[in-house]
Amino acid sequence: MAELLFDADYLERMEEEAFLQASDRMDAGCQVVGVYCAFTPKELIAAARAIPVSLCGSSENTIADAEAHLPRNLCPLIKSSYGFALTDTCPYFHEAQFVLADATCDGKKKMFELLGRIKPVHLLHLPQTADTREAFQYWLQELHKVKALLEEQTGRPITAESIREQIRLYNEFRRTAEKVFEFNRGEVPLFYGREINRITSPAGFECNIPWRIAEMRQAMDRGRKRAENSDFRRMMARKPRILLTGCPATNKKILNAIEENGGVVAAMENCGGLKALQMMVREDMDPLEALAERYLAVACPCMTPNTKRLDLIGRIIENYHIDGVVELIWQACHTYNIEAYQVREYVTNQCGRPYLQIETDYSEADSPRIKLRIDAFLELFN
Ligand code: SF4
Ligand code: SF4
């Protein structure tokens, strides 16, 4: 396998740089606001000149501590996130003045009640459907409350113009990140999925979006050079192109396992991947309404029905010339696990592609078994 241009150190360097930049902003009185979900409009936080930071836990190290309060039979993402808060081992959570949390799945909602004992939590009451006018109005009211809360906490008024400015900036971030993904739409993929994940990550504190956009553009320049490397193209052409869907790929074990065993994750549909990136916020209407419209449309299985996700998967399969689909289910995530039936049906019957579902947690205990299943799946394309 060719050496990765963007390894784990690349992302660590980005995070360290973002940390330094955020420290200056914090010293100047800027607050940090933690978020856990793709439904939270970070543009509003940034419009109050506060710093958004995503807090979803990706490591198993804090899970044993979390299990002192939470059931063992719970999604590892929730346990890991709570464990970091409980043990005060996440510098991002540590710095956050408060948390904006969305009422999504049952596990997260109930965890947030306990999290509120550690740090102030404001819960955004998310409707269960995105398809009605009433749901939109309800969600818009929630965003008005968040805006008022941010103004009160930061002491800074949020104007329509300051929201518009952040909408433009975040749209540019999303457009640029989507362009990174699009390097994999051609005859051969030019980036490994692991690389895309690192290049397009907001990298911790989101305090300097223009800098992250510039970094992504530099990364794309390196990708263009690869396009001229015939050895690299030949090697990539032999690899099955996999779409990774399902639960957020916070922990990278499945992404790594696919690519370490001969596949290339040509696209990711999960939160953090194309699901959130391909949706822009409209710039030609009332900014709060535009945020409400865009964020309510996130194709998460917490919504019912959630047909937009299937449409997106179908488009990605076509546009990225996907050979097979792997769906990641974190253990005890009923939300994704039940929807997986429809995803499998759609992928195999409508799109005519092989589908593999893997249910796992953050530990490495099942890695040999997962390797065997992924090997067998990738064999289908030889
Ligand atoms: S999958 Fe749904 S609940 Fe989980 S982070 Fe994404 S939008 Fe939020
Ligand atoms: S992976 Fe599933 S159970 Fe875990 S937080 Fe997301 S929706 Fe909830």
pLDDT band per the 50, 70, 90 thresholds, residue 121: very high
The residue written with tokens 């008024």 in the block is: 157
Out of 132-136, 163-167, 238-242, 269-273, pick the least confident. 269-273
Q: What is the percent of the chain with per-residue pLDDT over 90, rounded to a whole number?
A: 94
Per-residue pLDDT at 312 exceeds 90: yes
- pLDDT value at position 203? 85
pLDDT tens digits along 95-119: 999 999 999 999 999 999 999 999 9
User: What CA–CA distance (Å, rounded) separates 55 from 94?
Assistant: 10
Q: Tell me how far CA of residue 6 lies from CA of 83, 173, 197, in angstroms.
A: 29, 19, 9
Cβ within 8 Å of residue 148, ≥6 positions away: none
Element (H, E) at 143: helix 133-154
For the question of whether the overall pTM of this predicted structure is more than 0.75, the answer is: yes
pLDDT band per the 50, 70, 90 thresholds, residue 2: low
pLDDT tens digits along 38-52: 999 999 999 999 999
Q: What count of other Cβ atoms lies within 10 Å of the Cβ of residue 12?
A: 13
Number of H helices, E strands in the chain: 17, 8
Q: Which atom of ligand 2 is nearest to the CA of 247?
A: 1
pLDDT tens digits along 142-161: 999 999 999 999 999 999 99
Tokens found for residue 73: 């039979």
Q: How far is the CA of 37 from the centre of ligand 1 (A)?
A: 5
Q: How far is the CA of 187 from the centre of ligand 2 (A)?
A: 35
- pLDDT value at position 1? 55
Torsion 296-181-204-65 (CA) sign = positive
Torsion 146-152-155-160 (CA) sign = positive
- pLDDT value at position 46? 97
- pLDDT value at position 32? 97
pLDDT band per the 50, 70, 90 thresholds, residue 361: very high
pLDDT tens digits along 294-307: 999 999 999 999 99
- pLDDT value at position 338? 97
- pLDDT value at position 92? 94
pLDDT tens digits along 167-213: 999 999 999 999 999 999 999 999 999 999 999 998 889 999 999 99
Q: What is the number of the ligand closest to the CA of 55?
A: 1
Per-residue pLDDT at 288 exceeds 60: yes
The three-state secondary structure class of 125 is coil
Cβ-count burial of 73 within 10 angstroms (0-12 exposed, 13-18 middle, 19+ buried)?
Answer: exposed
Torsion 339-340-344-345 (CA) sign = negative
| Structural domain span for residue 57 | 1-382
- pLDDT value at position 137? 98
User: What CA–CA distance (Å, rounded) separates 119 from 302?
Assistant: 25
Q: Which atom of ligand 2 is nearest to the CA of 248?
A: 1
Q: What is the mean pLDDT of residues 62-69?
A: 98
Q: What is the percent of the chain with per-residue pLDDT over 70, rounded to a whole number?
A: 99
Q: What is the mean pLDDT of residues 339-348?
A: 98
User: What CA–CA distance (Å, rounded) separates 345 from 181?
Assistant: 26
Q: What is the mean pLDDT of residues 289-293?
A: 98
Q: Which atom of ligand 2 is nearest to the CA of 301?
A: 7
Number of domains in the chain: 1
Q: Which of 54, 56, 104, 108 to mutate to test the pocket of ligand 2 (most atoms within 8 A of CB)?
A: 108
User: What CA–CA distance (Å, rounded) separates 122 from 229?
Assistant: 50
Report the chain's mean pLDDT, rounded to a whole number: 96
Strand partners, 357: 327
Q: What is the mean pLDDT of residues 216-224?
A: 96
Distance from the Cα of residue 290 to its chain's centroid: 21
Q: Which of 35, 36, 39 to mutate to test the pocket of ligand 1 (most atoms within 8 A of CB)?
A: 39
User: What CA–CA distance (Å, rounded) separates 161 from 286?
Assistant: 10
Q: Which atom of ligand 2 is nearest to the CA of 76?
A: 4
Tokens found for residue 339: 């929807």
Higher-pLDDT residue of 230 and 3 is 230
**184: CATH:** 3.40.50.11900
pLDDT band per the 50, 70, 90 thresholds, residue 136: very high
Q: Which of 58, 63, 70, 78 to mutate to test the pocket of ligand 2 (most atoms within 8 A of CB)?
A: 78
pLDDT tens digits along 17-31: 999 999 999 999 999
The residue written with tokens 């947030």 in the block is: 112
Q: What is the number of the ligand closest to the CA of 77?
A: 2
Q: Starting at the edge strand that comes first in sequence, how are the strands of the sheet with 121-124 ordered?
A: 51-54, 32-35, 98-102, 121-124
